[in-house]
Structure formats: structure tokens, C-alpha cells
Structure 1
Amino acid sequence: METLRFLLRRAGGERPGRRSYTIYRNMEGPGGEGAGGLELKVAEGEEQTLAGDMAALVTPGPRDRTKALTYLVLSALLIFTVAFLLGYVALRGSCPSCAGLRGDLLAVVSDEGAAEESPVPGPPLYWADLKEMFQKYLREDSIESTIRVNPNFLHQLDPQGNVLEKLPLEDPEIYCPYSAPGNATGGLVYANYGRQEDFDVLGQQGVNPQGHLVIVRVGQISFAEKVANADAAQARGVLIYPDPWDIPQDLRKAGLSQNRAVYGHVHMGTGDPYTPGFPSFNHTQFPPIQSSGLPRIPAHPISASTAARLLSKLTGLAAPRDWKGRLAEIPYRLGPGDPGFRLHLQVNNVKTSTMISNVFGSFEGRFEPDHYVIIGAQRDSLGPGAAGSGVGTALLLELARTFSAMVRNGFQLRRTLLFASWDAEDFGQVGSTEWLEGYLSMLHLKAVAYISLDSAVLGDDKFHAKTSPLLTSLIENILKQVDSPNRSGQSLYEQVTFPDRRWASEVIQPLAMESSAYPFTAFAGVPAVEFSFVEDARPYPFLHTQDDTYENLNGMLFGRLPAVAKSVAEVVGQLLIRLTHDHLLPLDFGAYGDVLLHRIAELNPYSSELKSRGLTLQWMYSARGDYTRAAEKLRRDIYSSEERDERLNRLHNVRIMRVEFYFLSPYVAATEAPFRHVLHGRGPHTLRALLDHLRLLRAAPGRFDEGRFRRQLALATWTLQGAANALSGEVWDVDINF
């Protein structure tokens, strides 16, 4: 684990005299052209360094070393060409410590050479064969071994502004990236979790946060949303603490420190906030702009013990019953406290530029090599990061090793499988978002789906999936085939299914901004999913703290972390097999018909208000109907076509894989509203924003802007109609009256 911590801490930098393995660098290849970012690039003379670093993430066993030696001997006996021998020795012989990782794990490409030849095709393998093969090569012990791997201050002031007490900030390395620097002085108001409904309750109670600092609990929503809500309420600063109520009882007894603060960034967005909507490549001439999602007020994490000292000084109304946590002997009042009680928060965050390194590897597909199924995990972590990055990295490496073994034993991928290890994800999915921004113009033509391994194991009670509707039915089928890690004789599907509830309501959750899969769907229009095991009662409390260790995570699972992680690997592995192997992409392109019907129906209660203004929802329903008919027509065309007609297969797959992209609004700029998806995105172009604006007709008529609303309605309607037209096929097949 110490080795893993060292690698993660230096992942954001570059060692002197060494070339960084990243696409965020102006690297030139032969002919002066920039190097591509889709395959792992190994600079000349550095193979040993790179392989050594990656091998440090794995603890190879004696059996692995024996296998590696056997491969070397067999290769020496079965030389086909001198070139093959030289290539083999150059790649494997330079790294004797890589036996656990295996030199042929991924398709490794040098700047000058080509990928290794694929094995000679054997007899066709079917779903049952592939499932059995995957389970044969997946190793639980390998997953387990891989997982083991400027000061700010807060003062209390007297009425004259003199410092009465310097309050401790016990974790000097824990802070809020992207917090506004500066000073905030005022009283203190308690706002529960900092949700919008919490601030609404304060307003109903006559408590105004304006001009004061706000103290909120960790949980329910992201740090960024808490700060944005406090900013909107005109608070001067935000303090965020973990309340013992949100920590499972058995973990409190295990000694969770009351002096621990929780790390979290406060940017209401993803990626580099100083290059919104475009990539942070070194050769980009950055304009002096920044993301509108950056907060305007300072924010800082504090520990439960510091929070207790502050909350004990508050006066005023008692907090609602469901706002009260478990800080010892704290009455939980709303504040702002005695007029003589004031706080001074000073945040001295400094903006610096840092090189980051994403690492890629791939297995090239045989029939559709230009279509990519992408699987990724974050590699960085502020502390030990067992749940934050260790599990995801372990699963990524184990899946790569497993698929490597399958390919050597006859598995032929139809589409390319791309493995990605992301850097700087703890700062708001910077590594993955910058990559998306850099290749946005091609990804909607090539990316089939994205599977995230981040936060895969936070407990073992409930299995959840944050996902696009296109993947929901496929996930359901796979859950029926994977055994539950904690209920013998049951599948994961049976574990989460109840007679009086739909399985999807128990498992499927919407994509949220803090999810690493979110920018793939909301920004790039790529269907994405993020799996996780979580506790039924309360979330894993050590995430983004210095206590996120293997021992704590494994202890929370009663020593069953490897088994639970293996179950995630089985779900993900079967999903990857289906997406890379099936002739027809198993994406449910008709699912958005039901989603659209539900979203448009939310507008129905306001039909009379619309009618009085000469407006109607008829054309939005018409667009939804056109989409549903286009989906049915495509389904009939597929069923009536010949499965072995490769040309037709490709045409059908191209239409299916671009469905998510069809729902990106073409009427907003990515630099101004990067999350352009009308259903999952954020901004005035979304159906959610349309509904919120319509609600003002009853809640606050004076704030309703009819001209703006008409534009919102028109553009949203035509985005939906455009999605229906695109799914219909060729232009001459679309029958729309203009």
C-alpha cells in the first residue's frame, strides 16, 4: 500500500530527465506531428522505467514468475522470425520485475513501431464459452494484492475584531480545491447538508445566511453544490464537517477520528475550470477566462471536533429534528448566534499549473477496430485512497490481465477495448474531461460506451449503477448471471428485487455531476455507467480522508473486500464482453421513448398557462412520437437483416452508438454550457431548466421571462425532433413537414 501511495502522490508531476506519458504535452512523433493519445506510447529507451512503475502496482506471486519464465523458454524455442525475437526481448527482457503484469497484457505501441500481431483466429466462441473463459481467468487474489498497494486558518473574534481563539484545522493537507481565496468574517448559521431545500427551511424560519458564514454537514450532495447554494443565499463563506450521525455505528466504535476532515473540490463542473469547454494541452493559447462554476466565496473542510466547538456557541431557534446529528452535547441551533460571536476564515489557496499523466492501453478489434469500448479508473488520491482509487485501479489491471489471457486463448474482439488510467480525477474528473475535450470531434463517431470503475466498493449491502438509459436493460440481464457476494445461492438481481417494487428503482440511479461517468454522457454524448456496492444505511465515511485505508475498507466489509470486488469485476467483465463481441450493439435505443414521455408529462400540469399564451406541448409530444416510431423501424430493420452481413451490421451499429450524442443540444456552445445533454446536462437548454422556468408562473410570476421561455421551448423541442430524425436513418427517409 505504501508503494501505491508513493506512486499516486507523484502521479501529477514529472520526474527530471524523463518524458511524461501523457497526451497533455506537446509531443511530436515522426514527421513533426503530435503523438496520438489512444494507445499507450512508450518513449525510446524508457520501457524499463514505465514497466517498472506499473509493475509496482502489482505484487506478483511465485506462480506468475514461473509462467513468465515458461513463456520466455517457449518463445526461444519457437522463434518464427528474428524481428519477433528482437521485439519480444526488447519489451519483456528489459523488465524482469514485470512478471506479474505480463508483457503482452495490452497492445503496446512504440512511437516508431506497430502493434503486435493478433493471434491466428480459431473456431468461433459463443456467449456461454466467453462467460466461462472470463470466470476462469479472473483472479480474486490478484485484485486483493493490488488494492494493498499553504495553510488556511479559522479564528474566533471578539466584537472589536480581535482574535479570541485560533481554531485548529487538524488536517493541513485537507482543503477545498477551487475555493475562492480571501477572507470571510461574520456570524455562523447552521444549514444541515446545504441543499436548496435546507436553505428554504432557513428562510421559512426567518434565518437569513446573508453576511454570515454557513456550516454544513458532509453528504447528500457534492461539496460544489453546497457552496453554490450558500453563495446563492449570499453567505460569506462555508465550513463543511462530517457529522457522526452519518457514520455507521460499528465504524464509530472502530475509532473513526473526530479530528478528521473530508476532502472535496468545489467546482460546479468537471475538468480544468480555467479552460472550460476546450482541452488544456500545452500548445493551447489560453484566453483569460474561467468556468462559471467556480465559487465566489471561500470554503474549507473542518473536523467534527472543531464543528462541535462552533455549533455549541450558536443561539436562536432549535434546528428541525431531522437536522440534528450526533455531536456530543450539542443542541443544534440555527444561529447566527450571539452578536459578539464572529468567525474569521482565511483561505490562501494558490493556483498552480501541474502536468498530469493519463495512461492508455488497448486490444484492437477485428471487424470494427475504429469503434471503442472504454473502461477507466482514477489513479490519483490525496491520501491512501483504498476506495477512492485503489479498488478501481486493481480492477482495471485485473480486467486487462484477464482479457489478455482470453485473447491468447481464442477470444476475438469485434470492437477495440480501450483501458484508461486517469490522473487528477480528485480535482473534478480533470484527466478524463480534458481527454474528452481534446478528442470531442471524433469520440461521437467512435466511442460505443464508457464504464467507470471509480468508487466501485464502498460497502457490500446494496448494488447500484449510475447509468444512461441505453445500458439499463443490458445491466439487468447481466445481474441475473452474477452471483451475489453476500447471499449464497442468489444472483445480484435476486438480491435487489422485491415483490412490490421494480428492480430498476432499487438499482438504477441517474448520472450525477460528481460521478466520473457524468462528463462522458452529459458532455460527449457517450452512454456511460458507474457501478458501486454501498451500505444500505449510510455511505462509506472514510472516502476522501486520510483514513481511506485498505484496513478500514476491508474492515467495513468484514474481511470480504476481495470477494465483493470480484463481483464487480464479473459484472463489468460480462458487460465488456457483450459490448466488444456481439454483432449488434446491445444498447436499448428505444429506452429514451419512455424517458421522454415521463419528462414531457412533468410539463402537463401547466398546460392551461401555456394555452393562455398561445403555446402548446403538442410538438414536443410529436417529436417523442417520431423518436419512438424511428426506434421501432430500426428494430424491424435489424430483425429482418442477415446477421452475417457485415456492411449492414456496421450501419446499424453506427446508428445505435450515436443515439446518446443525438440528445446533445446543437444550440449551445460547449465552452459556455459544456453539459449539453437535454436530459442529463445542466443549463437553460435542458428539459429540467424548462420545467423550473415554467414553475415560476405560479411561484414567482414577476421572474418569468416569456421571451426566454419561448426560446427554451422551441430549441428543446427541435433538439428532441433532431434526435428522432437522426435515428430515422438517411435524410431521404425522414418525413417532416416544415
Structure 2
Amino acid sequence: MNSPNPRTIVIIVSLSSFAFLLGVITGYLSRPVHKDSSETLLDKLNRDGDRRLFEQFKEYVDTEYIDKVIRELTRRPGLAGTPQQKQNAEYIRDLWHQQGLKAEIVQYKVLLSYPKGNHTNKVSLYDASGSELFTSKPHEKPLVDEETPEEVVQPFNAYSPNGFVKGDLVYVNYGRAEDFERLNEAGINVSGKIAIARYGKIFRGNKVKFAEDNGAIGIILYSDPADYNTPGDERYFPGGMWLPGSGVQRGNVVVVKGDQSTQGYPSTNYSYRPDEEEISKQFPSIPCHPIGYDDAYFLLSSLVFGEVWQDWQGRLNFTYHITGLVDNRTVLMDIQNENVYRPIYNVIAKISGTIEADRAVIFGCHRDAWVYGAVDPISGTSILMETARIFAKSYSSGWRPRRSIVICSWDAEEYGLVGSYEWVEDNMKWLQNEAVTYVNFDSAISGNFTFSSRTVPLLHDAVYKATMALPSPYNSSLTLYQDWRSKSDSRSELPEPKIQPIGAGSDHTPFIALAGIPSTYSKYTGYIIDGKVISTDTYPLYHTRYEQYELVKMIDPGYTLAKTITLFHCELIRELVDARILPLNVRTYAAVIALNIRRLEKLRADFTENNVEYNELLASIERLKTAASIFHQKIVNLDHSNPLQVRMINDKLQSVERAFIVPEGLPLRPMYRHLLQSPSGLNYYGGTGFPGLEDLLELPNSNPQKWPQIRKHVTILTHSMYSLATVLEKD
């Protein structure tokens, strides 16, 4: 008898070992998790989320608790870096502890900006002899009783450099790139002058940068009645929601976010920090200061040269002019700010998952404000707190989430998303490995007209599905989705309500633009006043002293909208946490990419002329579309009873956004690393299809590096499309 050859022996041993291992695994998976439960671990692995939990959420939601949180957090100003912010952090931590949540305060020491000492920042107007004709008011007029009015910080723009500058004035409309371009085409020179721009349309920091790029020596920002009031309606706060003439919008002016002293790394006790001179290079080089429209009246009415174009006319009661102060008057800006290191406090709570504890759905909202911040951010914080309370109560009632939940209260968002940036940088490796999504709550009740959403394409379907699950707050016969759709400005051929690109401007930014974590940010916007829909760029009292508790009660008197947006977030997060297959749609992402590339078709001849591999980019997008469709079909045909296959699919879905993260960042803005979901270079608040490519296309053709950089960046874009397609194609 022939003895078996060694290869046969190896095969027999291997098969025996495999059979034994399979038996062990099967036995383990089949064992009861608890002695008193018949549900096995395999049963749990194969269990879908229970949609009946949403009915429980409806019973749990408590608008009195929402009101309690808003009242408490708007009693005193919530400026970052002040003792009050530490107390607010402890208040939130203690509430979460009472509800059974594990919560901790995470502290960072960061560089913040304040008006210097007892100095009053101001803008003044002088006649030809040097006599002062006007000086801006140092504070907004208190209009309701305030518990600690001395804590209200004077109007200022954070991180504005100091300056004592004097010169002629030039009106630059909204201070956008196209506004300065129009002035240049008209032969009006901004260089050596002080610019004055109205708030709105784009991020204030972009206004400052464009003024600086055009040679201005300073810039004044104000809120024009055309953008922050409505004609014929004089119901100014506290009699209504409109902005009084003394109201001033505060805000930061930096385009690089996070702690300014530790860019790219967390602000820990071991972090290297450059010296003050090096850090100052990140800030604008010209002073910036905000004023109210009562003060702006004196400046703008003194201009006499060049009647403005019709679309530049504001609603102060005179004809606006562009430049040339009457009688040789001059404007003086006297700005003295200081940058100081202060502690900030994030509060982080967690509910551990029972099946996929190593996968986390994160939601958060900042709680700091320039003054009282009733809308921004406390309306969002109150809904965050109610959502957290509902999940904590569900947990105590026996619900166990499939994935982990992380709940975050951020500090110092108003200074450039500082708290969230530092935490993301501090936890980058863990987040990129385990984070599924981030849901942002900021300014949740910004208006009372319609639901709106800024969301990455992967999450479009999840947002739509959640809005289909609950009724409209205005018409119970309609779903929230149907009400949203009826009010959407979406093109008529699209059946879904319009979702805006994610953009930036709130705490979702480091998650998506730095770490590649799918993010969404939904809220109520627009106004219905006396049955009429009022369109405003933002809510009129934004970042002013008058954004107080009373404002939220005007917008949402019975907290009907607050209840709706709470339930929306509960259902969205429940689906993200409990769905066996992550509700992320790659086909939607590929379709949006294809739509965005078509908008660049007008540049095809320029690409060809400059040897850009544009056709290869188009081919890579087509391959991605095909791969996404095939991958979607894999999900449809998936054996859902096989937890290993489910996990493999989810891991691929979780890797989609990471495929577009490049360590070197965008060509002109390396602090933003997502090739597709970084903010626009022309407007930090807005999103765009291909932000890095569009940055480069804005460069003048005289720049010798323009087309070489475009060729390189198109290569990187093409590679990312092919790489993601390969991930989706592989078994």
C-alpha cells in the first residue's frame, strides 16, 4: 500500500483544522448571549434595526426640556474662553450623567482673539480740517433686560490685525471677487483706500481677503437693511425679528480653521507652537471692523462719486455712490485686538454599540456664541440635548444600538471651528478607522419656512428617507419630505427636494474636509411673516447682541419645529446606527460627480489646448458610475444572513469618502484635504463640484504655474476616481 504523499497530508490536516475551527465558530455564534435570552449572537448579527423605535421617540420627545436648555444657555453670554463657557460645559456634562450617559470634558488650550484691554475699536469720519464728525458706537443698545450686560463683548472681528489707518472710502458691495472685478473694469481703484462692504452672500473672511488682494488698507463690514430687514415692516427686535440699526454682526475672519497656533495637530500640552510673528502670517494683513447700519449711514452718505449699479443699491434712504468722500473728508479705523491662549471645553458622551462597537455614528453641536446665541448655536444645542436624552432613555428602556453613538458639545466654533477641529485632529486615526458618519445640529431653528439640508451625496437617500417618516409640522396630511419638496427651489425635472453641497461654516467641516467622514447638516430656514414668505440671506439678528431667547420664541412659539427637527435627527441617527447595511448610496455620489463635471464642459477647448488629460478624467468618472451600479447590485443580491459579507460591504461603503482624501491637501489650500467636499475658495460657506480644480481655474492665465498645476491636479482627481472604482469592483 502506497503511503500518502506530503501534499495530501497537508490538505487533510488543513481541512480537519478548518472543520474544527468552523465548529468552534458555529458553536460560539449559536450560544445564547445572556442566560435569560433565546437570541443568539448570530441572530443579533443578522438583525435589522427596529423601525418601531421611532414610535417610541415620538412619545419621548419633550419640548419643555428643549425650552429649559435654551433658557439656561442664553441667560448669559457664551463667549469662548470665558468662565461662563466652562460652567456651560459642566452643565451639559452633569445633565448627561443624570441621564445615564458616560460623559467627559475634553480640554484644549488654544489661541483666541478679543478686543484689547479697555480699548474701544471704532471707525471715525473727519472733515478736511481734522475735526471729528462721527464715531461708530462702542456697543449695541440693550433692548431687553440682561442678567450680566457687562459680559457682552463689544462688536469686533476676531483675528483682525491691529491698525490705525486713515484714507478715502470705497463701497465694494458684498466684497465678492466679482464685485472687485467690476470695480476694476470700471477703472475704480481700491488700492490705498478703506473698503466698506455689506454682509451677506459669502463668508466675511473671503471679503477681507479680496479687499486685501486688491490693495485696500482696511475694510469695514455692515449689515444693510436690504439684506437684514424687509420693506415696510418696522418690527425691529424686540418688537419683531428684524435687525435694529445698532445691531452689529460679529465673527471671525480667518480662512484657515482650527487652533491658529497648532495647524494640522491638536492643541495638546506637548504641541509645538510657532512664535507670534509666524502665526500672524495666517491672519489678514489689513484691519477689519463691523458696524451697524445706523453708523454705516454716515459713511455711505458721504460718498459722492460714481452712482452705483442698480444691483449694488442698498436700502438706506439715499442713492449709494462708490467712492470720493465729500469735502475731502477721511475715514479712520482704530482697531486694537489681542490674541491670547485660553482653555476651551468640549463635552463628549458615548453609548457603546453591542454588535459593531468599533463603528461609531457621531453627532454634535457647538454651544459657544458671540453673545447669547439663541439661534446660533443654542437652538441646535437644545435639540442635540433632547436627541441625546431620547437615546439615553431608549437605552435605559432596553434598546441596544448596533453601532456606537458619540455625542459632542463643541466649544470655540465661532473662532473657526476650533473645538471640533482639535478633537478631530486629536482622534484622526481612530476616526478614519471607525467613524461611520457625522451629523451636525448647529442653528437648527434658523427660520420657520422650510426644512433644508446640506449633505454629502452618500447621505442624500438617508436624509430623504428620514423626512418621509414624520409629518410636516404645518400640514399633518403631508410628510416632512412632501412639504420640503413643495417649497424647494429644485429644478422641476428633479423629483427630490434640493439638497445643497455640504460646504463649510460649521463643525461638520473637519469631519468631511479633513478626515473624509460623510457628514450632514439640516435645519429650518426662511421666514413666514403675516402669511408671506420672506427670503433673507440669513436670519437678521445673526451674531448680534439681540439674538436672545425671545427670538427663538418668535420663530417657533410652541416648539413645533423643534419637535420636528428633533424627530428627524432621531430617525436619521437610528437608521445610521442600527441598519444592517449602512444607508450610504454610492450611485448617488457617482451621479453627482458626473453632473458636476458636465458644468466644466465649456472649458474643454482650454483643457485640450493646454494638454490637460480631461478625457481620461471623464473616462474615470464613467468607470466609477459603472462600478457604483455593479456594487449597488451586489448589495441587492447580498446574502444578508451572512454577517461577514455584510461587514465587507459596510467597510467598502465606509471607505468611499476616504478615497478622496489627499494628505497634501488642495493645491492652493492644503488645509483642506477632500478633493470633492472641501469648501469653495471663493466662498468658504459654499460647496462646489471640484474645489481644488476651480481654485486653479481662477488663477490668471499670466500665471506660468496655472496649467502645470491643473494638469497635476486632474491627474490626482482621475487617480482617485479609478481607485474608488477598483475598491467597489473587487470582491
TM class by shorter chain equals: 0.7 to 0.9
Question: Could you tell me how far apart the structure 1 residues matched to 2:197 and 2:509 are?
Answer: 25
Cα distance, 1:224 vs structure 2:
1.0
Paired residue secondary structure (1:353): strand
Paired residue secondary structure (1:708): helix
Identity of aligned residues (%): 29
Residue in structure 2 matched with residue 619 of structure 1 by the alignment? 616
Cα distance, 1:728 vs structure 2:
3.4
Post-superposition Cα deviations, 1:451-481, rounded to whole Å, max 9, x if no partner, equal 1110111111021111111111111122122
Over the aligned positions, Cα root-mean-square deviation in angstroms equals 2.8
Residue in structure 2 matched with residue 681 of structure 1 by the alignment? 678
5 Å-filtered alignment, 1:320-469, equals 320-327=309-316, 329-338=317-326, 340-469=328-457
2:205 equivalent to 1:224: yes
2:722 equivalent to 1:721: yes
Cα distance, 1:162 vs structure 2:
6.1
Question: Could you tell me how far apart the structure 1 residues matched to 2:648 and 2:626 are?
Answer: 19
Query: 2:218, 2:288 within 8 Å by CA — same for their partners in 1?
Result: yes
Query: 1:481, 1:491 within 8 Å by CA — same for their partners in 2?
Result: yes
Question: Could you tell me how far apart the structure 2 residues matched to 1:647 and 1:420 are?
Answer: 31
Residue in structure 2 matched with residue 316 of structure 1 by the alignment? 305
Question: Could you tell me how far apart the structure 2 residues matched to 1:134 and 1:233 are?
Answer: 54
Q: Any stretches of 5+ residues in structure 1 without a counterpart?
A: 1-116, 734-738
5 Å-filtered alignment, 1:156-305, equals 156-159=125-128, 163=132, 165-171=134-140, 173-249=154-230, 250=233, 252-253=235-236, 254=239, 256-288=243-275, 289-290=278-279, 294-305=283-294
Question: Could you tell me how far apart the structure 2 residues matched to 1:294 and 1:119 are?
Answer: 62
Once the two structures are overlaid, the 10-residue window that deviates more, 427-436 or 492-501, is: 492-501
Cα distance, 1:703 vs structure 2:
5.8
2:512 equivalent to 1:521: yes
Question: Could you tell me how far apart the structure 2 residues matched to 1:500 and 1:714 are?
Answer: 32
Residue in structure 2 matched with residue 632 of structure 1 by the alignment? 629
**Cα 1:596/1:628, change in 2 over 3 Å:** same
**Cα 1:476/1:198, change in 2 over 3 Å:** same
**Cα 1:349/1:502, change in 2 over 3 Å:** farther
Post-superposition Cα deviations, 1:289-335, rounded to whole Å, max 9, x if no partner, equal 438652121111111111001111011111222222222x3321111
Question: Could you tell me how far apart the structure 2 residues matched to 1:219 and 1:298 are?
Answer: 19
Please identify which structure carries the higher strand content: 2
Query: 1:641, 1:648 within 8 Å by CA — same for their partners in 2?
Result: yes
Cα distance, 1:658 vs structure 2:
1.8
Question: Could you tell me how far apart the structure 2 residues matched to 1:198 and 1:404 are?
Answer: 51
Question: Could you tell me how far apart the structure 2 residues matched to 1:507 and 1:243 are?
Answer: 28
2:469 equivalent to 1:470: no
Question: Could you tell me how far apart the structure 1 residues matched to 2:124 and 2:36 are?
Answer: 70
Query: 2:125, 2:135 within 8 Å by CA — same for their partners in 1?
Result: yes
Question: Could you tell me how far apart the structure 1 residues matched to 2:522 and 2:566 are?
Answer: 10
Post-superposition Cα deviations, 1:21-73, rounded to whole Å, max 9, x if no partner, equal xxxxxxxxxxxxxxxxxxxxxxxxxxxxxxxxxxxxxxxxxxxxxxxxxxxxx
Question: Could you tell me how far apart the structure 1 residues matched to 2:295 and 2:496 are?
Answer: 38
Question: Could you tell me how far apart the structure 1 residues matched to 2:200 and 2:366 are?
Answer: 21
Residue in structure 2 matched with residue 511 of structure 1 by the alignment? 502
Amino acid of the structure 1 residue aligned with 2:693: L
Residue in structure 1 matched with residue 693 of structure 2 by the alignment? 690
Question: Could you tell me how far apart the structure 2 residues matched to 1:616 and 1:285 are?
Answer: 41
Post-superposition Cα deviations, 1:194-223, rounded to whole Å, max 9, x if no partner, equal 122222222233222111111111221111
Post-superposition Cα deviations, 1:227-264, rounded to whole Å, max 9, x if no partner, equal 11211221111111111222344564436431121111
Question: Could you tell me how far apart the structure 2 residues matched to 1:251 and 1:391 are?
Answer: 25
Amino acid of the structure 2 residue aligned with 1:309: F
**Cα 1:176/1:603, change in 2 over 3 Å:** same
Query: 1:678, 1:686 within 8 Å by CA — same for their partners in 2?
Result: no
Paired residue secondary structure (2:635): helix
Question: Could you tell me how far apart the structure 2 residues matched to 1:299 and 1:686 are?
Answer: 31
Cα distance, 1:669 vs structure 2:
8.5
Cα distance, 1:486 vs structure 2:
2.3
Deviating above 6 A after TM superposition, structure 1's stretches of 4 or more consecutive aligned residues are: 117-125, 669-672, 683-686
Question: Could you tell me how far apart the structure 2 residues matched to 1:209 and 1:345 are?
Answer: 16
Query: 1:153, 1:345 within 8 Å by CA — same for their partners in 2?
Result: yes
Cα distance, 1:346 vs structure 2:
1.9
Paired residue secondary structure (1:316): strand
Query: 1:240, 1:302 within 8 Å by CA — same for their partners in 2?
Result: yes
Cα distance, 1:390 vs structure 2:
1.7
Amino acid of the structure 1 residue aligned with 2:126: L
Paired residue secondary structure (1:629): helix
Amino acid of the structure 2 residue aligned with 1:510: P
Paired residue secondary structure (1:356): strand
Higher RCO (CA-CA < 8 Å; seq separation 6+)? 2
Paired residue secondary structure (1:681): coil
Question: Could you tell me how far apart the structure 1 residues matched to 2:177 and 2:164 are?
Answer: 24
Question: Could you tell me how far apart the structure 2 residues matched to 1:649 and 1:342 are?
Answer: 69
Residue in structure 1 matched with residue 579 of structure 2 by the alignment? 582
Question: Could you tell me how far apart the structure 2 residues matched to 1:230 and 1:252 are?
Answer: 34
2:145 equivalent to 1:154: no
Cα distance, 1:374 vs structure 2:
0.5
**Cα 1:549/1:630, change in 2 over 3 Å:** same
Amino acid of the structure 2 residue aligned with 1:315: V
Paired residue secondary structure (1:345): strand
When normalised by structure 2's length, the TM-score is 0.78
Question: Could you tell me how far apart the structure 2 residues matched to 1:204 and 1:506 are?
Answer: 39
Question: Could you tell me how far apart the structure 2 residues matched to 1:323 and 1:612 are?
Answer: 37
Cα distance, 1:168 vs structure 2:
2.7
Post-superposition Cα deviations, 1:664-690, rounded to whole Å, max 9, x if no partner, equal 124449997121111122599993442
Question: Could you tell me how far apart the structure 2 residues matched to 1:316 and 1:395 are?
Answer: 50
Question: Could you tell me how far apart the structure 1 residues matched to 2:35 and 2:375 are?
Answer: 36
5 Å-filtered alignment, 1:641-720, equals 641-668=638-665, 673-681=670-678, 687-691=690-694, 693-694=696-697, 700=701, 705-720=706-721
**Cα 1:503/1:542, change in 2 over 3 Å:** farther
Cα distance, 1:402 vs structure 2:
0.8
Post-superposition Cα deviations, 1:263-293, rounded to whole Å, max 9, x if no partner, equal 1110113211222221111221223443865
Cα distance, 1:355 vs structure 2:
0.5
Question: Could you tell me how far apart the structure 2 residues matched to 1:287 and 1:618 are?
Answer: 44
Once the two structures are overlaid, the 10-residue window that deviates more, 543-552 or 149-158, is: 149-158
Question: Could you tell me how far apart the structure 2 residues matched to 1:435 and 1:261 are?
Answer: 31
Amino acid of the structure 2 residue aligned with 1:587: L
